[in-house]
Amino acid sequence: WTMQNLHAIGASMFFICIYIHIARGMYYGSYLNKNVWVSGTTLLIILMATAFFGYVLPWGQMSFWGAAV
């Protein structure tokens, strides 16, 4: 179960880093360039979809109710 916990903590830390990166981009005004904004938003949506499917994929009880909501 140690590897499972490390995997879960690593995934959470990855998203924390992503949100810090978004905040830094907003602070420095990177969103003013349309290409940067579109590519960043696209990557964020892909990452969120990957996280959702990773949560639902084991198809346990928590996954079922996570997908049902």
Predicted confidence (pLDDT) per residue in 34-67, tens digit: 999 999 999 999 999 999 998 888 878 888 888 8
Torsion on CA atoms 60, 61, 64, 66, rounded to nearest 10? -110
Which residues span the domain enclosing 30? 1-68
Specify the pLDDT at position 66. 83
- Mean pLDDT, range 6-14, rounded to an integer: 91
Tokens, residue 47: 């990452």
Structural domain total, the chain: 1
Question: How many contiguous H segments (helices) and E segments (strands) does the chain have?
Answer: 3, 0
DSSP, res 32? G
Comparing 1-10, 15-24, 33-42, the range with the smallest average pLDDT is 1-10
